[in-house]
Structure 1
Amino acid sequence: RIPSRKILQDTCDAASAIDATAVIVHGGHADDNDLDAGFERWVKALASLKTDMPVYLENTAGGDHAMARHFDTIARLWDHIGDMGIGFCLDTCHAWAAGEALVDAVERIKAITGRIDLVHCNDSRDAAGSGADRHANFGTGQIDPQLLAAVVKAADAPVICETADEGRKDDIAFLREHID
């Protein structure tokens, strides 16, 4: 998986050049559900990385052998990489699509990682557990907007709304109104 490591290094170098805050990466997939091999690839990737640019692991929505879809797998991955300086990005749509309850998602992720560095706050077009990564503006999808605001408030981290341009200003205004 050297090409993946080179892409991560190149991405971190480019992010440093523009003074980005961090690079956000998905967890990837383990071949044939061989999670141990996937954990080892993560360790090698982070160990070979030469950068001061923070890297945040983001939970993912779907994939049968995804390394960061379900919180129990994230916990196992974090046991291998948590002391290697990696941060965490919690995506609400991804957690919903993975079938993870949002009501206590922040508490559970912080128990695993000790941190949430960024929240991607999005409604979901599809039902919980669907595995579908289809972001929606607040109130147009399946997640109660009040629950989204509660997640952001509990996380106490910067937030990005990855929703459609049309309606994003309303999403941001909603969060501002409900988390202060």
Structure 2
Amino acid sequence: MTPSNLIGGHVFVAGGLATGGLRHAADIGAEMIQVFVSNPRGWALSAGDPAEDAKLRESGMPAFVHANYLVNFGSPTEATLESSVAVIRHTLRRAAAIGALGVVVHTGSAVSQSREDAMRQVREHLLPLLDEIPGDGPDLLLEPMAGQGRMLCATVQDLGPYLEALDFHPKAGVCLDTCHAFAAGHDLAAPDGVRLTLDALHEVAPGRLKLIHANDSKDACGSKRDRHENIGAGHIGAQAFADLMRHPVAAGVPVCIETPGKADKHREDIELLKKLR
């Protein structure tokens, strides 16, 4: 029997990482959660609350951490590189403290330098961080982007050279965002689109898909625009998400929404995904 996908969402933690996060999870019917452990749009690092960490760890709720949006190992700016290293090292430690299964990190952009130089920086700065993760620690999950600007990784095929730069490290996993993939040119709405996309992912990164960000898209396939829509309300459509959860590559992989709206809309999205499951 194919293992079932846990379905949940990114939760807000007002009132405490565990207290607020678990309350929000209950409100939206989440079976798993994703959280931030510090400001997602600033470099400041949060020490966290050991009591809240323990409460979340002991709750048994499967959790993932999304890293700071500013992290970019392809940046030509030394200060950004140094801050990116500090943030990921800190986030991996915080993720371990709450018992998280993985840390999601955007794959970055070359900005104003060559792709070759940017990829050398990815190897130089990210590979040592992967080496620091203990065997029972959280995986670092690479999230390809929508293809805007000088992004280093957008299509699933781009993951091949990215992982190669990291020596296919055993702690390097993948987080597939459906809106990003669609925007980058994977036509998930086509009758065979999901199968072709996940088959291609299996070719370049077998066994590395650890999390799915389930987001519909406000824009058409290939738009290179990262604008999330509620499940079934965008250009991807509900059928693609049913196809996704039936594909063997996605078997047992947690599915996390990052869709617009507040708790009521998130609850509707999760309920729809459960029906599609």
TM-score, length-normalised on structure 1?
0.90
Match of 2:158 among 51, 73, 76: 73
Report the equivalent of 1:87: 173
Q: Secondary structure at the match of 2:209?
A: coil
Q: Which residue in 2 is equivalent to 1:132?
A: 225
1:63 aligns with 2:143: no
Residue of structure 2 in register with 1:22 after alignment: 102
- How far the C-alpha of 1:160 sits from its partner, in A, is 0.5
Q: Aligned equivalents of 2:148 and 2:219: distance in 1?
A: 15
Instruction: Report the Cα offset of residue 100 of structure 1.
Output: 1.8
Change (3 A) 1:82 1:117: farther
Determine the structure 2 residue equivalent to 1:173: 271
Q: Give the superposition deviation at 1:33.
A: 5.7
8 A contact 2:157–2:200 mirrored in 1: no
Q: Which residue of 2 aligns with 1:160?
A: 256
Structure 2 Cα separation of the partners of residues 26 and 160 of structure 1: 16
Cα distance, 1:9 vs structure 2: 0.6
Where does structure 1 differ by over 4 angstroms across 4 or more consecutive aligned residues? none
Pick aligned residue for 2:126 from 46, 60, 68? 46
The answer as to whether partners of 1:121 and 1:152 remain within 8 angstroms in 2 is no
Deviation string, structure 1 residues 151-172 (Cα, Å, up to 9, x no partner)? 2332121110111333222222
Q: Residue 109 of structure 1 is aligned with which of 190, 193, 201?
A: 201
Q: Deviations over 1:12-60 (max 9, x none)?
A: 1122222222110010011446222222222222332123331100111
Is the radius of gyration larger for structure 1 or structure 2?
2
Q: Distance in 1 between matches of 2:182 and 2:176?
A: 11
Task: Point out which structure has higher relative CO (alpha carbons under 8 A, 6+ apart).
Answer: 2
Q: CA RMSD in A?
A: 1.8
Distance in 2 of aligned mates of 1:88 and 1:7: 19
Rounded to whole Å, the distance in 1 between the matches of 2:238 and 2:93 is 37
Corresponding residue for 1:36? 116
Q: Does the 8 Å CA contact 1:92/1:123 hold for their aligned counterparts?
A: yes
2:167 and 2:177 map into 1 onto residues whose CA distance is 18
CA distance in 2, matches of 1:78, 1:47: 10
CA change 1:82–1:140 in 2 (3 A) is: farther
* Aligned positions, number: 179
Shift of residue 82, structure 1, vs aligned partner: 5.2
Percentage of matched positions with identical amino acids:
31
Write the distance in 1 (CA, Å) between the matches of 2:173 and 2:204. 12
Q: 2:182 aligns with which of 96, 112, 120?
A: 96
Query: Which stretches in structure 1 are left out of the alignment for 5+ residues?
Result: none
Question: 1 CA distance for matches of 2:105 and 2:274?
Answer: 27
Of Structure 1 and Structure 2, the greater helix share is in 1
User: Which AA in structure 2 matches 1:13?
Assistant: R
